[in-house]
Structure 1
Amino acid sequence: MSDDPYKVLGVAKDATEAEIKKAYRKLAKSLHPDLNPGDKAKAAEFQAVSAAYDIIGDADKRKRFDAGEIDASGQERPQRQYYREYADTDPQGRYASGAGYGDFDDLSDVFSDLFGARAQARTGRAQGFAARGTDVRYHLEVDFMDAVRGAKRAVPLPDGSAIDLTIPAGVRDGQTLRLRGKGQPGFGDGPAGDAYVSITVRPHKVFTRDGNDIEIEVPITFDEAVLGAKIEVPTLTGKVAMSVPKGASSGQRLRLKGRGVKPAKGAAGDQYVRLKIVTPTKPNADMEAIARQWRDKVDEDPRAKLWRDV
């Protein structure tokens, strides 16, 4: 697989942030170790895709990569690192006369110090040498109710190990959770990088979410709509009694205050119940007789407003 993060994700150099995110999520879903257990090739591809998104999925890193300041692994390019070290030195110490080699009494000291420092740098033992480890990215799908209530999950890694992850209550689809120090180890005394876990929330069969609000469609009978009724409706925390007003219509929304998503921080949202009048699929003779009486006695056109708006 290419080292170019744009090629790894299959996007153009001028791709938008949304296009990059879409490409990453599509690849991450197809390559995720949960869906390809034991497939080391796909596990390696998944890691490469995550590493690529870590670079060009981050605006600052993408800018630095495009400018040639960092490579595809996020590490500073040698020439840039040298320039920074050079730029940070005392201006008067940047240039020194070679006559007599300054304070060195013996030419052998120069080579001893030079090659000794290089050897130490390669092993990360040079005094003051430290580099932060690379950040890594993972993807995790969670159930709707786990996202709402919070849960503990393990993020599987390609090498067979796992990272324990606490999913906070109210986590949103597409949200990224940060695990400090769970990325690649640092160099020398440098700290480890971080792990970023992108969350995808599976849709629920009944509940839909808008921010911290929840909406649900509840069927009611014809008589409940006309006469009003007390019915039970499901919520995120169990059954709740709700009053259907007299003369209710399909599509009417009723609010259950505070019955929405309760995030880890902040107030809970509301639940909206959208009514749907359902008639029997096979009405009997009595019901048909009542309907005919209704038609003869009720002089209200339910489509009057529609025609006025048209």
Structure 2
Amino acid sequence: MEDPYEVLGVKRDASDDDLRRAYRKLAKKFHPDLNPGDRQAEERFKAVASAHELLSDPDKRGRYDRGEIDATGTERRPDHSYYRDFAEGRNGGRYHGGDEEEADDFNDLFENLFGGRFRARSTGGGAGPEIRMRGANRRYSLTVDFLDAINGTTQRLQLPDGKTLDVAVPPGIEDGKVLRLKGQGDPGLGGGPPGDALIEVRITPHPFFKRVGNDLHVEVPVTLSEAVLGGSITVPTRTGPVTMTVPEGSDTGRVLRLRGKGVPAGRGGRPAGDQYVMLKVEVGPGADDAELKAFLRNWAPGHAFDPRRKLGMAP
């Protein structure tokens, strides 16, 4: 098993921020969604995730640095020479098979070494160490539609073993965020609690919506007539189409706002965002309209206007 510090490419005295930056960089590089069919990248992603999981937990990191657990989080077994250092029993007596004193001292040894993680278990008069450990966390990736991520949804995740998890995706979740499903990881050992399922959310881009912070931006085409004369148009929002008014004389690039139509309000007092609609004038089929061309030829000479005057160029 590789050293987790080497997997993440950080020094042993790396700060939490150093670990987080290294993890994000490598996770993005090796993520299975960005490397479809690449088994090596998938294995590296798992190794990076496992290393970060261990080192981001202060207790586990400390125990690893002290040599109490290995890179998988498993208790290290003392080597045989260490056991021989404790070969003397009480009052100078040596351990021997079936001796009650042997069992007591054996359990005392494990209690001292592992801080109570081993406990005695009687089975027909005998005794033996039983390890109690929390189950390992399992990491998954869940791809969510853009609008589902904005509005919130429940999505079913198919696991490699054929089982499924129903994942509640909260409204407004951002790409790359990790959801934790408690108790949905690997089962514990010796009665220990199960691990958790850590689900990284990947959001698919939308064909015309763009998220900026808690606001949504969309470009909406308007006709020449709508731009000049104004009028009502239908625009898409995260909850469905709505009607809004285009002011007279609107240029391409004019931005209108729909209050509260951005990312919905969320936990921690997060306010609802707005939706910004940028107008884009499209001439459309009128570009080949002979009547429109004739009108403009007659209209333009009496309505001189230089839209490029702000660029500082001489007419």
TM-score by length of 1: 0.73
Which residue of 1 is the match for residue 9 of structure 2? Answer: 12
**What code does the residue aligned with 1:51 have?**
S
Residue in 1 aligned with 2:14? none
SS at match of 1:55: helix
- The yes-or-no answer on 1:27 pairing with 2:30 is yes
**SS of match in other structure, 1:131:** coil
The equivalent residue for 2:264 is 262
The one-letter code matched in structure 1 to 2:155 is: R
Give 1:207's aligned residue: 209
User: How many Å separate the matches in 2 of 1:199 and 1:149?
Assistant: 14
Q: Which residue of 2 aligns with 1:297?
A: 302
Give 3-state SS (helix, strand or coil) of 2:120's partner.
coil
Aligned to 1:90: none
Q: Are the equivalent residues in 1 in contact too, given 2:30–2:44 (CA < 8 A)?
A: no
Tell me the distance in 2 between the aligned counterparts of 1:158 and 1:43: 14
What's the secondary structure of 2:142's corresponding residue?
strand
TM-superposed deviation, 1:180: 1.1
Amino acid at match of 2:280: K
Counterpart code for 2:238: L
Tell me how far 1:5 sits from its aligned partner: 4.2
Distance 1:44 1:305, change over 3 A: closer
**Whole-Å separation in 2 of the counterparts to 1:99 and 1:163:** 53
Q: Is the 8 A contact 1:185 1:193 kept in 2?
A: yes
Letter in 1 for 2:70: D
8 A contact 1:259–1:268 mirrored in 2: yes
For 1:175, the equivalent position in structure 2 comes to 177
Residue 277 of structure 1 corresponds to 281
CA distance in 2, matches of 1:124, 1:188: 9
Q: Superposition RMSD on alpha carbons, in Å?
A: 3.8
The separation in 2 between residues aligned to 1:67 and 1:130, in whole angstroms, is 21
Residues 218/23 of structure 1: CA separation in 2 closer, same or farther (3 Å cut): same
- Cα 1:267/1:148, change in 2 over 3 Å: same
In the TM superposition, what whole-angstrom CA distance separates every residue of 1:5-38 from its partner, at most 9, and x where no partner exists? 4666xx5335763343232244332599xx67xx
Q: Could you tell me which of 104, 119, 126 is aligned with 2:120? A: 126
CA distance in 1, matches of 2:297, 2:183: 73
- Alignment identity in percent? 39
SS at match of 2:305: coil
Change in 2 beyond 3 A, CA 1:221/1:60 = farther
The aligned residue for residue 50 of structure 2 is 51
What is the rounded CA distance, in whole Å, between the counterparts of 2:153 and 2:59 in structure 1?
A: 31
CA distance in 1, matches of 2:135, 2:174: 28
CA distance in 2, matches of 1:23, 1:304: 49
1:164 to partner: Cα distance: 2.4
Give the structure-2-normalised TM-score.
0.72
Shift of 1:109: 4.3
CA shift, 1:73, in A, is 1.5
Q: Which amino acid aligns with 1:55?
A: L
- TM-fit CA distance, 1:64: 4.2
Unaligned runs of 5+ in 2: 12-17, 79-88, 94-98, 122-129
Segment of structure 1 superposing worse, 236-245 or 155-164 = 155-164
Question: Residues 156 and 249 (structure 1 numbering): CA distance in 2 closer, same or farther, change over 3 Å?
Answer: same
Query: CA-to-partner distance for each residue in 1:115-135, whole Å, 9 max, x for gaps?
Result: 4667999x9653796432222
Q: Which runs of 5+ in 1 are unaligned?
A: 80-97, 103-107
Match of 2:65 among 61, 67, 85: 67
Indicate the residue corresponding to 2:124 in structure 1. Answer: none
